[in-house]
Amino acid sequence: MQVTCIGGACVDRSYRVQGNAVSGSSNPAIRALPLFGGVARNVSENLARLRIESALFTAVGDDALGQALLDELRVAGVNVDLVKIVEGSSDEYAAILERGDLVLGAADMRAIESLTIGDLDLRWETLAGSAWLFIDCNVSAGILQTCLSRRSIARYQLAIDAVSEPKARRLPGQLDPIDVLFINEGEARSYLDADASAPPEELASALLARGARSVVLTGGDRGMICGDPTVLMHIPAAMVHRVCATGAGDALVAGTLWRLIAGDGLRDAARTGAELAALTLQTDRSVRADLSPALLDRQTGVRP
């Protein structure tokens, strides 16, 4: 397996506020049709649509939505043989959007939180044989730490996404086993207990000082900082019309991994990830239904 993704898979529900969102009040909104999302789920589908062999290790409920989620992934080309089926409802994520940007998100992730190290061990042969493991911080700190500690005895390279400010705190104090850490500025400040005024370059340097081999630090419209202990680079954000922000960060991860697998350096890979994020921002889906290597080639001029 080229990439095995470990983490969240859920039903995404989104509500578009009409006008400016008012805190503490009921806001008129348009409800979008529910779609399937979750960080690891989205990354696995993006990769499959980019012709990368990908598998997903997550947990879904034994309800109709869980079955439909798995069926959609199979059609996209994702291997779902590792998925754990649990009794009850599948996980759900609700997003309140203002002009396409996230105002507030709420997640019920009890299915993914049921995953244990025992579940990991049952699938370890497949996981250990992957070229890359991608893990999002929806999983427990125990599962995250186990995958980090076993990196030295397995063949995989390791990419981690911090997911959110509270869940970024599941990252260990030392980040040495992580080949690529994807994290936004708010998550980095939460993890590092950094001052709100700390510039992004300082945050990236602090993450690298804790042992991460490379970092992709995103800052929304300000673009991102990426690099390793030898050099940090700024990559500007693409200016596009935003339809929906849900899934854009996951697309950035997938586009970056796609090009790293192809042999690109981190700067060029992250630029491709930024282009895929921009393409995803222009749709109302967490993964573009028309995504293909050819589409991304036309956007970036990069050839596999």
Helices (H) and strands (E) in the chain, counts: 11, 15
Using 70 as the pLDDT threshold, list the residues of the chain that sit under it: 300-304
What span, in angstroms and rounded, lies between the C-alpha atoms of 232 and 31? 41
What span, in angstroms and rounded, lies between the C-alpha atoms of 204 and 194? 11
**Look-up of token digits 């921009």:** 278
Nearest to 182 by CA among 148, 158, 159: 159
- For residues 39 and 164, is the Cβ–Cβ distance under 8 A? no
Q: Which amino acid is at 263?
A: G
Q: How far is CA 144 from the centre of its chain?
A: 15
The model's pTM: 0.91
- For residues 84 and 143, is the Cβ–Cβ distance under 8 A? no
Give Cα separations from 280 to 51, 73, 195, 252, 283 (angstroms). 17, 18, 31, 9, 6
DSSP string, 38-106: -HHHHHHHHHHHTT--EEEE-EEESSHHHHHHHHHHHHHT-B-TTPEEESSPPPEEEEEEETTEEEEEE
- Report the DSSP beta bridge partners of residue 60: 85
What pLDDT score was predicted for residue 251?
A: 96
Domains, in order of start, for the chain: 3-19+29-300 (3.40.1190.20)
- Cβ atoms within 10 A of the Cβ of 155, count? 11
pLDDT (tens digit per residue) in 14-30? 888 888 998 888 888 88
What pLDDT score was predicted for residue 285?
A: 87
Nearest to 96 by CA among 153, 174, 13, 175: 13
Residues in the chain: 304
Q: Which amino acid is at 271?
A: R
The pair of three-digit structure tokens given for residue 175, joined into one six-digit string: 């980040």
